Structure 1
Amino acid sequence: MENQEHFKFSNGVIVYPLVFVMLIWLVFWFEIRFRFDFTNFGVYPMRLNGLKGVVFSPFIHSSIQHLYHNTIPLFVLSASLFYFYRSIAWKVLLYGILLSGLLTWLIGRPAYHIGASGLIYVLVSFLFFKGILAKHYRLIALSLLVVFLYGSMVWYVLPIKEGMSWEGHLSGLVVGLFFALIYRNNIPKPVKYKWEEPDYDEESDEFLKHFDENGNFIESTNLESDGSEEQPKTINYIFKENKD
Protein backbone atom coordinates (compact mmCIF):
# COMPACT_ATOMS: atom_id res chain seq x y z
CA MET A 1 0.00 0.00 0.00
CA GLU A 2 1.49 3.33 -1.05
CA ASN A 3 1.71 6.29 1.27
CA GLN A 4 -1.20 8.67 1.17
CA GLU A 5 -0.65 11.73 -1.01
CA HIS A 6 -1.88 15.29 -0.81
CA PHE A 7 -1.87 17.88 -3.58
CA LYS A 8 0.91 20.39 -2.95
CA PHE A 9 2.91 22.66 -5.24
CA SER A 10 6.70 22.50 -5.03
CA ASN A 11 9.59 23.83 -7.09
CA GLY A 12 10.11 20.39 -8.60
CA VAL A 13 6.75 20.62 -10.38
CA ILE A 14 8.31 23.18 -12.73
CA VAL A 15 12.05 22.59 -12.39
CA TYR A 16 12.19 18.87 -13.22
CA PRO A 17 10.09 19.07 -16.41
CA LEU A 18 11.95 22.21 -17.47
CA VAL A 19 15.36 20.55 -17.02
CA PHE A 20 14.22 17.51 -19.01
CA VAL A 21 12.92 19.68 -21.87
CA MET A 22 16.10 21.77 -21.89
CA LEU A 23 18.17 18.59 -22.03
CA ILE A 24 16.50 17.29 -25.18
CA TRP A 25 16.88 20.72 -26.78
CA LEU A 26 20.56 20.72 -25.80
CA VAL A 27 21.06 17.34 -27.47
CA PHE A 28 19.41 18.61 -30.65
CA TRP A 29 21.54 21.79 -30.59
CA PHE A 30 24.66 19.67 -30.18
CA GLU A 31 23.72 17.64 -33.26
CA ILE A 32 23.19 20.75 -35.36
CA ARG A 33 26.17 22.70 -34.06
CA PHE A 34 28.74 19.92 -34.42
CA ARG A 35 27.09 18.07 -37.32
CA PHE A 36 26.42 14.86 -35.44
CA ASP A 37 23.63 12.43 -36.15
CA PHE A 38 22.45 10.45 -33.13
CA THR A 39 19.78 8.52 -35.02
CA ASN A 40 21.69 5.26 -34.63
CA PHE A 41 21.26 5.66 -30.84
CA GLY A 42 17.53 5.07 -31.29
CA VAL A 43 15.65 1.83 -30.67
CA TYR A 44 16.25 -0.71 -33.40
CA PRO A 45 13.89 -3.65 -32.80
CA MET A 46 15.22 -7.16 -32.32
CA ARG A 47 18.88 -6.17 -32.51
CA LEU A 48 21.08 -6.27 -29.43
CA ASN A 49 22.83 -3.03 -30.34
CA GLY A 50 19.39 -1.49 -30.78
CA LEU A 51 18.70 -1.88 -27.07
CA LYS A 52 20.75 1.23 -26.30
CA GLY A 53 17.90 3.21 -27.76
CA VAL A 54 15.70 2.13 -24.83
CA VAL A 55 17.61 4.72 -22.79
CA PHE A 56 18.70 7.27 -25.40
CA SER A 57 15.83 7.47 -27.89
CA PRO A 58 13.65 9.95 -25.91
CA PHE A 59 16.45 12.54 -26.20
CA ILE A 60 16.88 12.23 -29.98
CA HIS A 61 14.71 14.00 -32.56
CA SER A 62 14.85 14.05 -36.32
CA SER A 63 13.94 17.71 -36.92
CA ILE A 64 13.05 20.97 -35.23
CA GLN A 65 9.38 20.30 -35.98
CA HIS A 66 9.59 16.88 -34.37
CA LEU A 67 11.21 18.38 -31.27
CA TYR A 68 8.80 21.32 -31.08
CA HIS A 69 5.71 19.11 -31.27
CA ASN A 70 7.01 17.00 -28.38
CA THR A 71 8.20 19.87 -26.16
CA ILE A 72 4.92 21.41 -24.98
CA PRO A 73 3.02 18.18 -24.19
CA LEU A 74 6.10 16.75 -22.49
CA PHE A 75 6.41 19.77 -20.21
CA VAL A 76 2.68 20.06 -19.42
CA LEU A 77 2.16 16.36 -18.77
CA SER A 78 5.30 15.85 -16.68
CA ALA A 79 4.48 18.95 -14.61
CA SER A 80 1.00 17.50 -13.98
CA LEU A 81 2.61 14.22 -12.99
CA PHE A 82 4.88 15.87 -10.41
CA TYR A 83 2.04 17.97 -8.98
CA PHE A 84 -0.62 15.28 -8.62
CA TYR A 85 1.56 12.18 -8.10
CA ARG A 86 4.90 13.45 -6.79
CA SER A 87 5.61 10.31 -4.68
CA ILE A 88 5.60 8.07 -7.77
CA ALA A 89 6.51 10.62 -10.46
CA TRP A 90 10.12 9.48 -10.88
CA LYS A 91 9.06 5.84 -11.05
CA VAL A 92 6.56 6.59 -13.80
CA LEU A 93 9.09 8.65 -15.76
CA LEU A 94 12.11 6.36 -15.50
CA TYR A 95 10.32 3.03 -15.74
CA GLY A 96 8.07 4.53 -18.41
CA ILE A 97 11.10 5.30 -20.59
CA LEU A 98 12.58 1.85 -20.07
CA LEU A 99 9.43 -0.24 -20.45
CA SER A 100 7.97 1.64 -23.41
CA GLY A 101 11.37 1.49 -25.13
CA LEU A 102 11.71 -2.21 -24.44
CA LEU A 103 8.21 -2.94 -25.73
CA THR A 104 8.98 -0.92 -28.87
CA TRP A 105 12.11 -3.00 -29.31
CA LEU A 106 9.96 -6.14 -29.19
CA ILE A 107 7.13 -5.11 -31.54
CA GLY A 108 8.63 -2.41 -33.74
CA ARG A 109 9.45 -2.46 -37.42
CA PRO A 110 13.11 -2.84 -38.47
CA ALA A 111 14.01 0.84 -38.34
CA TYR A 112 15.35 3.38 -35.85
CA HIS A 113 12.65 4.63 -33.47
CA ILE A 114 13.50 7.99 -31.90
CA GLY A 115 11.78 10.82 -30.03
CA ALA A 116 10.05 11.50 -26.71
CA SER A 117 6.58 10.70 -28.04
CA GLY A 118 6.67 7.23 -26.49
CA LEU A 119 7.12 8.81 -23.06
CA ILE A 120 4.39 11.35 -23.84
CA TYR A 121 1.98 8.49 -24.52
CA VAL A 122 3.01 6.93 -21.20
CA LEU A 123 2.06 10.16 -19.42
CA VAL A 124 -1.18 10.69 -21.33
CA SER A 125 -2.28 7.14 -20.68
CA PHE A 126 -1.26 7.13 -17.02
CA LEU A 127 -2.87 10.50 -16.16
CA PHE A 128 -6.10 9.60 -17.94
CA PHE A 129 -6.62 6.09 -16.57
CA LYS A 130 -5.30 6.93 -13.11
CA GLY A 131 -7.82 9.76 -12.76
CA ILE A 132 -10.67 7.47 -13.79
CA LEU A 133 -9.60 4.74 -11.37
CA ALA A 134 -9.04 7.19 -8.51
CA LYS A 135 -12.62 8.54 -8.55
CA HIS A 136 -11.29 11.79 -7.07
CA TYR A 137 -12.91 14.91 -8.50
CA ARG A 138 -9.61 16.73 -9.16
CA LEU A 139 -8.05 13.72 -10.84
CA ILE A 140 -11.15 13.08 -12.95
CA ALA A 141 -11.00 16.74 -14.01
CA LEU A 142 -7.36 16.17 -14.96
CA SER A 143 -8.37 13.12 -17.01
CA LEU A 144 -10.97 15.16 -18.88
CA LEU A 145 -8.42 17.90 -19.50
CA VAL A 146 -5.97 15.36 -20.89
CA VAL A 147 -8.66 14.03 -23.22
CA PHE A 148 -9.54 17.56 -24.33
CA LEU A 149 -5.92 18.51 -25.06
CA TYR A 150 -4.47 15.25 -26.32
CA GLY A 151 -7.38 12.94 -27.03
CA SER A 152 -6.74 12.98 -30.76
CA MET A 153 -3.37 11.35 -30.14
CA VAL A 154 -5.11 8.01 -29.71
CA TRP A 155 -5.32 7.66 -33.51
CA TYR A 156 -1.54 7.64 -33.79
CA VAL A 157 -1.27 4.28 -32.04
CA LEU A 158 -2.38 2.93 -35.41
CA PRO A 159 -0.25 2.79 -38.58
CA ILE A 160 -1.98 5.73 -40.27
CA LYS A 161 1.04 7.93 -41.02
CA GLU A 162 4.16 6.88 -42.85
CA GLY A 163 7.46 7.44 -41.09
CA MET A 164 5.84 7.68 -37.63
CA SER A 165 6.60 5.16 -34.90
CA TRP A 166 3.08 4.06 -34.06
CA GLU A 167 4.67 1.11 -32.26
CA GLY A 168 6.34 3.52 -29.83
CA HIS A 169 3.03 5.28 -29.27
CA LEU A 170 1.20 2.02 -28.68
CA SER A 171 3.93 0.86 -26.29
CA GLY A 172 3.62 4.09 -24.30
CA LEU A 173 -0.16 3.76 -24.11
CA VAL A 174 0.08 0.20 -22.81
CA VAL A 175 2.78 1.04 -20.26
CA GLY A 176 0.81 4.05 -18.98
CA LEU A 177 -2.28 1.90 -18.46
CA PHE A 178 -0.14 -0.70 -16.69
CA PHE A 179 1.19 1.94 -14.26
CA ALA A 180 -2.32 3.25 -13.62
CA LEU A 181 -3.39 -0.24 -12.60
CA ILE A 182 -0.46 -1.11 -10.36
CA TYR A 183 -0.53 2.30 -8.65
CA ARG A 184 -4.32 2.46 -8.39
CA ASN A 185 -4.18 2.52 -4.57
CA ASN A 186 -1.93 5.58 -4.54
CA ILE A 187 -4.77 8.10 -4.44
CA PRO A 188 -4.56 11.57 -2.91
CA LYS A 189 -7.25 12.00 -0.27
CA PRO A 190 -8.58 15.14 1.39
CA VAL A 191 -7.99 15.70 5.09
CA LYS A 192 -11.03 14.70 7.11
CA TYR A 193 -12.12 16.24 10.39
CA LYS A 194 -14.25 14.53 13.00
CA TRP A 195 -16.76 16.73 14.80
CA GLU A 196 -17.68 15.58 18.29
CA GLU A 197 -20.76 16.56 20.22
CA PRO A 198 -20.24 18.43 23.52
CA ASP A 199 -20.50 16.27 26.60
CA TYR A 200 -23.11 18.42 28.32
CA ASP A 201 -26.88 18.69 28.09
CA GLU A 202 -28.07 22.19 27.17
CA GLU A 203 -31.38 21.58 28.93
CA SER A 204 -29.88 20.41 32.19
CA ASP A 205 -29.87 22.51 35.35
CA GLU A 206 -26.08 22.19 35.46
CA PHE A 207 -25.81 24.04 32.17
CA LEU A 208 -28.56 26.62 32.68
CA LYS A 209 -27.36 27.77 36.08
CA HIS A 210 -24.49 29.63 34.38
CA PHE A 211 -26.92 32.07 32.71
CA ASP A 212 -29.47 34.59 33.99
CA GLU A 213 -33.01 34.85 32.73
CA ASN A 214 -31.85 36.97 29.78
CA GLY A 215 -29.31 34.41 28.63
CA ASN A 216 -26.29 36.35 29.88
CA PHE A 217 -23.31 34.50 31.30
CA ILE A 218 -22.95 34.51 35.08
CA GLU A 219 -19.53 34.08 36.70
CA SER A 220 -20.32 31.70 39.50
CA THR A 221 -18.11 31.62 42.57
CA ASN A 222 -20.53 29.93 44.98
CA LEU A 223 -18.77 26.67 45.52
CA GLU A 224 -19.86 24.08 47.99
CA SER A 225 -17.43 23.72 50.82
CA ASP A 226 -16.67 20.42 52.48
CA GLY A 227 -14.95 22.11 55.44
CA SER A 228 -11.52 21.77 53.90
CA GLU A 229 -9.28 24.55 52.68
CA GLU A 230 -10.81 27.23 50.45
CA GLN A 231 -11.34 25.95 46.91
CA PRO A 232 -9.78 27.89 44.02
CA LYS A 233 -12.06 30.03 41.90
CA THR A 234 -13.22 28.27 38.73
CA ILE A 235 -14.63 29.93 35.61
CA ASN A 236 -16.29 27.78 32.96
CA TYR A 237 -16.50 29.55 29.61
CA ILE A 238 -19.73 28.36 28.07
CA PHE A 239 -21.42 30.30 25.32
CA LYS A 240 -25.07 30.42 24.41
CA GLU A 241 -27.01 32.40 21.85
CA ASN A 242 -29.03 35.28 23.28
CA LYS A 243 -32.56 34.71 22.11
CA ASP A 244 -33.84 38.20 23.00
Structure 2
Amino acid sequence: MKQQKLQELKGGALLDRPATQLLNDFGAGKASPGSGSAAALLSILSAKMIITVCDISSGKSDCSKSHKEFGYISKQVKDEIEPKLRELFESDARDFETVVVLRVKRDKSTDTTEKSNYSREALDLLQIATDYTFEIADLSLRLMEYGVTIFEHGWHAIRGDSGVAVSAAMSGVMSSIFIINLNLKTLKRRKYAEENLKRCQGLQKRLEVLQTKAFSCVTSISSESLESIQLELNTNA
Protein backbone atom coordinates (compact mmCIF):
# COMPACT_ATOMS: atom_id res chain seq x y z
CA MET A 1 0.00 0.00 0.00
CA LYS A 2 2.81 2.43 0.88
CA GLN A 3 4.59 1.64 -2.39
CA GLN A 4 1.36 2.24 -4.34
CA LYS A 5 0.80 5.64 -2.69
CA LEU A 6 4.43 6.59 -3.33
CA GLN A 7 4.00 5.71 -7.01
CA GLU A 8 0.89 7.90 -7.23
CA LEU A 9 2.74 10.81 -5.62
CA LYS A 10 5.47 10.39 -8.21
CA GLY A 11 2.89 10.49 -10.99
CA GLY A 12 3.09 6.80 -11.86
CA ALA A 13 1.22 5.45 -14.88
CA LEU A 14 -2.47 4.80 -14.30
CA LEU A 15 -2.20 1.50 -16.17
CA ASP A 16 0.30 0.30 -13.57
CA ARG A 17 -2.41 0.39 -10.92
CA PRO A 18 -4.20 -2.82 -9.84
CA ALA A 19 -7.26 -3.59 -11.99
CA THR A 20 -9.77 -3.01 -9.18
CA GLN A 21 -8.27 0.36 -8.33
CA LEU A 22 -8.22 1.44 -11.97
CA LEU A 23 -11.87 0.49 -12.41
CA ASN A 24 -12.73 2.38 -9.24
CA ASP A 25 -10.85 5.37 -10.64
CA PHE A 26 -13.15 5.34 -13.65
CA GLY A 27 -16.18 5.18 -11.37
CA ALA A 28 -15.03 7.90 -9.00
CA GLY A 29 -16.75 10.71 -10.90
CA LYS A 30 -13.53 12.62 -11.56
CA ALA A 31 -12.21 14.10 -14.78
CA SER A 32 -9.36 11.61 -14.99
CA PRO A 33 -9.31 8.92 -16.17
CA GLY A 34 -12.21 9.79 -18.42
CA SER A 35 -13.96 8.67 -21.57
CA GLY A 36 -10.93 9.00 -23.86
CA SER A 37 -8.86 6.76 -21.63
CA ALA A 38 -11.81 4.37 -21.35
CA ALA A 39 -11.95 4.07 -25.15
CA ALA A 40 -8.23 3.31 -25.22
CA LEU A 41 -8.64 0.71 -22.48
CA LEU A 42 -11.32 -1.11 -24.45
CA SER A 43 -8.95 -1.39 -27.39
CA ILE A 44 -6.03 -2.44 -25.21
CA LEU A 45 -8.19 -5.38 -24.12
CA SER A 46 -8.87 -6.13 -27.79
CA ALA A 47 -5.14 -6.04 -28.49
CA LYS A 48 -4.44 -8.52 -25.71
CA MET A 49 -7.10 -10.93 -26.98
CA ILE A 50 -5.72 -10.72 -30.52
CA ILE A 51 -2.22 -11.55 -29.27
CA THR A 52 -3.63 -14.54 -27.36
CA VAL A 53 -5.47 -15.91 -30.38
CA CYS A 54 -2.47 -15.41 -32.68
CA ASP A 55 -0.09 -17.11 -30.27
CA ILE A 56 -2.35 -20.11 -29.67
CA SER A 57 -3.35 -20.48 -33.32
CA SER A 58 0.29 -20.38 -34.39
CA GLY A 59 0.80 -23.62 -32.51
CA LYS A 60 -2.07 -25.46 -34.19
CA SER A 61 -1.36 -27.54 -37.30
CA ASP A 62 -4.86 -27.05 -38.71
CA CYS A 63 -4.12 -23.29 -38.87
CA SER A 64 -0.76 -23.75 -40.62
CA LYS A 65 -1.81 -21.83 -43.73
CA SER A 66 -2.23 -18.68 -41.64
CA HIS A 67 0.76 -19.00 -39.30
CA LYS A 68 2.71 -16.31 -41.15
CA GLU A 69 -0.27 -13.96 -41.02
CA PHE A 70 -0.70 -14.58 -37.29
CA GLY A 71 2.94 -13.72 -36.74
CA TYR A 72 2.59 -10.47 -38.66
CA ILE A 73 -0.58 -9.44 -36.80
CA SER A 74 0.87 -10.31 -33.42
CA LYS A 75 4.02 -8.28 -34.11
CA GLN A 76 2.03 -5.25 -35.29
CA VAL A 77 -0.12 -5.32 -32.17
CA LYS A 78 2.74 -5.96 -29.73
CA ASP A 79 5.27 -3.55 -31.21
CA GLU A 80 3.08 -0.73 -32.45
CA ILE A 81 -0.61 -0.71 -31.61
CA GLU A 82 -0.71 -1.70 -27.93
CA PRO A 83 2.21 0.56 -26.86
CA LYS A 84 0.61 3.50 -28.66
CA LEU A 85 -2.77 2.85 -27.06
CA ARG A 86 -1.14 2.75 -23.63
CA GLU A 87 0.57 6.06 -24.36
CA LEU A 88 -2.71 7.62 -25.53
CA PHE A 89 -4.49 6.31 -22.42
CA GLU A 90 -2.06 8.15 -20.15
CA SER A 91 -1.89 11.30 -22.30
CA ASP A 92 -5.64 11.69 -22.44
CA ALA A 93 -5.99 11.17 -18.70
CA ARG A 94 -3.30 13.78 -18.00
CA ASP A 95 -4.35 16.44 -20.50
CA PHE A 96 -8.11 16.25 -20.06
CA GLU A 97 -7.69 16.65 -16.31
CA THR A 98 -5.84 19.88 -17.08
CA VAL A 99 -8.68 20.96 -19.39
CA VAL A 100 -11.13 20.61 -16.51
CA VAL A 101 -8.82 22.51 -14.14
CA LEU A 102 -8.60 25.37 -16.64
CA ARG A 103 -12.38 25.43 -17.03
CA VAL A 104 -12.83 25.69 -13.28
CA LYS A 105 -10.35 28.57 -13.12
CA ARG A 106 -12.15 30.26 -16.01
CA ASP A 107 -15.51 30.02 -14.28
CA LYS A 108 -14.15 31.29 -10.96
CA SER A 109 -12.25 34.22 -12.42
CA THR A 110 -13.81 37.69 -12.35
CA ASP A 111 -11.23 39.23 -14.66
CA THR A 112 -12.33 39.32 -18.31
CA THR A 113 -8.82 38.96 -19.74
CA GLU A 114 -7.99 36.12 -17.37
CA LYS A 115 -11.23 34.35 -18.22
CA SER A 116 -10.42 34.63 -21.92
CA ASN A 117 -6.92 33.26 -21.41
CA TYR A 118 -8.14 30.27 -19.41
CA SER A 119 -10.81 29.57 -22.00
CA ARG A 120 -8.30 29.69 -24.85
CA GLU A 121 -5.87 27.42 -23.03
CA ALA A 122 -8.62 24.92 -22.27
CA LEU A 123 -9.76 24.83 -25.89
CA ASP A 124 -6.18 24.49 -27.14
CA LEU A 125 -5.65 21.48 -24.91
CA LEU A 126 -9.06 20.02 -25.84
CA GLN A 127 -7.92 20.03 -29.48
CA ILE A 128 -4.87 18.02 -28.48
CA ALA A 129 -7.02 15.59 -26.52
CA THR A 130 -9.32 15.23 -29.52
CA ASP A 131 -6.33 14.34 -31.67
CA TYR A 132 -5.57 11.59 -29.16
CA THR A 133 -9.09 10.25 -29.61
CA PHE A 134 -8.75 10.25 -33.39
CA GLU A 135 -5.62 8.15 -32.99
CA ILE A 136 -7.42 5.76 -30.65
CA ALA A 137 -10.18 5.36 -33.24
CA ASP A 138 -7.73 4.68 -36.07
CA LEU A 139 -5.88 2.05 -34.04
CA SER A 140 -9.15 0.48 -32.93
CA LEU A 141 -10.27 0.12 -36.55
CA ARG A 142 -7.05 -1.73 -37.31
CA LEU A 143 -7.73 -4.02 -34.38
CA MET A 144 -11.24 -4.68 -35.67
CA GLU A 145 -9.78 -5.75 -39.01
CA TYR A 146 -7.29 -8.04 -37.29
CA GLY A 147 -10.04 -9.40 -35.07
CA VAL A 148 -12.17 -10.41 -38.03
CA THR A 149 -9.14 -12.03 -39.67
CA ILE A 150 -8.27 -14.14 -36.65
CA PHE A 151 -11.92 -15.10 -36.20
CA GLU A 152 -12.01 -16.42 -39.74
CA HIS A 153 -8.59 -18.13 -39.75
CA GLY A 154 -7.69 -18.69 -36.09
CA TRP A 155 -8.15 -21.87 -34.12
CA HIS A 156 -11.86 -22.72 -34.08
CA ALA A 157 -11.97 -23.53 -30.35
CA ILE A 158 -11.05 -20.00 -29.28
CA ARG A 159 -13.32 -17.97 -31.51
CA GLY A 160 -14.90 -16.64 -28.33
CA ASP A 161 -11.60 -14.83 -27.74
CA SER A 162 -11.65 -13.54 -31.31
CA GLY A 163 -15.21 -12.35 -30.83
CA VAL A 164 -14.23 -10.42 -27.71
CA ALA A 165 -11.33 -8.87 -29.65
CA VAL A 166 -13.67 -7.67 -32.39
CA SER A 167 -16.33 -6.42 -29.95
CA ALA A 168 -13.90 -4.56 -27.70
CA ALA A 169 -12.23 -2.86 -30.67
CA MET A 170 -15.61 -1.91 -32.09
CA SER A 171 -16.56 -0.38 -28.72
CA GLY A 172 -13.28 1.53 -28.78
CA VAL A 173 -14.11 3.01 -32.18
CA MET A 174 -17.71 3.86 -31.31
CA SER A 175 -16.68 5.43 -28.01
CA SER A 176 -14.09 7.54 -29.82
CA ILE A 177 -16.67 8.77 -32.33
CA PHE A 178 -19.01 9.81 -29.52
CA ILE A 179 -16.18 11.71 -27.79
CA ILE A 180 -14.90 13.37 -30.96
CA ASN A 181 -18.34 14.66 -31.94
CA LEU A 182 -18.89 16.07 -28.46
CA ASN A 183 -15.49 17.80 -28.52
CA LEU A 184 -16.06 19.21 -32.00
CA LYS A 185 -19.33 20.67 -30.76
CA THR A 186 -17.43 22.42 -27.96
CA LEU A 187 -14.83 23.60 -30.48
CA LYS A 188 -17.46 24.76 -33.00
CA ARG A 189 -16.09 28.31 -33.26
CA ARG A 190 -12.65 27.08 -34.22
CA LYS A 191 -11.37 26.14 -37.65
CA TYR A 192 -10.28 22.83 -36.12
CA ALA A 193 -13.90 21.69 -35.82
CA GLU A 194 -14.69 22.34 -39.48
CA GLU A 195 -11.45 20.72 -40.62
CA ASN A 196 -11.99 17.55 -38.61
CA LEU A 197 -15.73 16.99 -39.02
CA LYS A 198 -15.25 15.11 -42.29
CA ARG A 199 -12.47 13.09 -40.70
CA CYS A 200 -14.90 11.99 -38.01
CA GLN A 201 -17.52 11.13 -40.59
CA GLY A 202 -14.89 9.06 -42.39
CA LEU A 203 -14.29 7.08 -39.21
CA GLN A 204 -17.98 6.33 -38.98
CA LYS A 205 -18.11 5.08 -42.56
CA ARG A 206 -15.12 2.81 -41.97
CA LEU A 207 -16.78 1.52 -38.83
CA GLU A 208 -19.98 0.71 -40.70
CA VAL A 209 -18.06 -1.41 -43.21
CA LEU A 210 -16.26 -3.33 -40.48
CA GLN A 211 -19.47 -3.73 -38.47
CA THR A 212 -20.94 -5.61 -41.39
CA LYS A 213 -17.97 -7.98 -41.35
CA ALA A 214 -18.19 -8.32 -37.57
CA PHE A 215 -21.87 -9.19 -37.67
CA SER A 216 -21.18 -11.78 -40.36
CA CYS A 217 -18.87 -13.46 -37.84
CA VAL A 218 -21.70 -13.50 -35.30
CA THR A 219 -24.08 -14.91 -37.92
CA SER A 220 -21.68 -17.67 -38.88
CA ILE A 221 -21.08 -18.85 -35.32
CA SER A 222 -24.82 -18.66 -34.60
CA SER A 223 -25.53 -20.85 -37.63
CA GLU A 224 -22.93 -23.39 -36.52
CA SER A 225 -24.44 -23.49 -33.04
CA LEU A 226 -27.95 -23.97 -34.39
CA GLU A 227 -26.90 -26.75 -36.76
CA SER A 228 -24.97 -28.51 -34.00
CA ILE A 229 -27.88 -28.40 -31.57
CA GLN A 230 -30.38 -29.56 -34.20
CA LEU A 231 -28.08 -32.42 -35.18
CA GLU A 232 -27.81 -33.49 -31.57
CA LEU A 233 -31.58 -33.37 -31.14
CA ASN A 234 -32.12 -35.41 -34.29
CA THR A 235 -29.55 -37.97 -33.17
CA ASN A 236 -31.24 -38.40 -29.81
CA ALA A 237 -34.75 -38.52 -31.25
Q: Same fold (TM over 0.5)?
A: no
**Structure ranking higher on relative contact order (CA contacts 8 Å, 6+ apart):** 2
Structure of higher CA gyration radius = 1
